[in-house]
Amino acid sequence: MFPLLLALSMLALIVLFTKAPSILETIIGVLLLLVVIALFTSWVFLLINKQWLKVFLSFIASAVVVCILWLPLIFSAMSGPDGFGKDHPIPEGLELNLPLSLESDKIEVVDSLDKNTYLQIWNDFQGGMYKYDFYYTSLESGEVFLRCYEVTSNTPLSEDRIIEQSRVKISPQKHFGKVVNKQSFTIYEGDWDDYYAARIEVWFKSSKTNKESKLMEKIYRVEGWMR
């Protein structure tokens, strides 16, 4: 029974990554389920007959197959492309910025007279995952956070998640300087290498009045994280 489980698991991975017809995926899934049921039945039978070693070895072998083959299978199935980038092509002639690479030595010059330099987006270790730096002039105490929108449709991107992930509490400052340093956030809409244009807005919420105000915005080429 275990060799059959191993063979079906490997076949399921091949079917998934070669984009086989859905009916074949269904058949493989049903067969895997039947094999698992048969495995549990065999364990019960062995336990009744007190064949402890066979139960132990069969359980360990099955656990290894599940961890090595089934988990990638599940994660891959969950991360299928959603086509968001293809449905929202970047308009021809649109001026946009590219996220910087954390591994490179390139650093954008921050100029207090040029507001366009205040926000810097960095690529994190996977597509769709980003960090941001933000510089600003005088601010009272409060919170800085991001809101992101697809440019052509004005669709909010990962709205609640990005607000919470990007939120940074700040102390009062009277002079121009860095307010946020490499704060992480993730854009979930879209797929790796399927780029589209996003308007990234920086917002401030006052701790005294709870009033929210937009400080600036900047258009970036982004991609989604394939979860």
Residue 224's identity, in one-letter code, is G
Mean pLDDT of 100-123: 85
Q: Closest Cα to residue 224, out of 190, 197, 173, 199?
A: 190
Q: What value, to the nearest 5°, has the Cα angle with vertex 225 and ends 118 and 150? A: 55
Alpha helices in the chain (DSSP H): 2-17, 22-48, 52-65, 71-78, 84-87, 159-166
Query: Where does the pLDDT of residue 4 fall: very low under 50, low under 70, confident under 90, or very high at 90 and above?
Result: very low
| Burial grade of 196 (CB within 10 A; 0-12, 13-18, 19 or more) | buried
What does the pLDDT look like over 167-223, one tens digit per residue? 999 999 889 999 999 999 999 999 888 999 999 999 999 999 999 999 999 999 999
Lowest mean pLDDT among 9-13, 60-64, 70-74, 117-121: 9-13
Is residue 166 scored above 70 in pLDDT? yes
- 0.75 exceeded by pTM: no
What does the pLDDT look like over 65-82, one tens digit per residue? 565 555 555 555 555 556
Query: Where does the pLDDT of residue 26 fall: very low under 50, low under 70, confident under 90, or very high at 90 and above?
Result: low
In DSSP terms, which residues pair with 131 in a beta bridge? Answer: 122, 184
Q: φ and ψ at 197, to 5 degrees? A: -95, 130
Is residue 51 scored above 70 in pLDDT? yes
Separation CA 100–CA 110 (nearest Å): 14
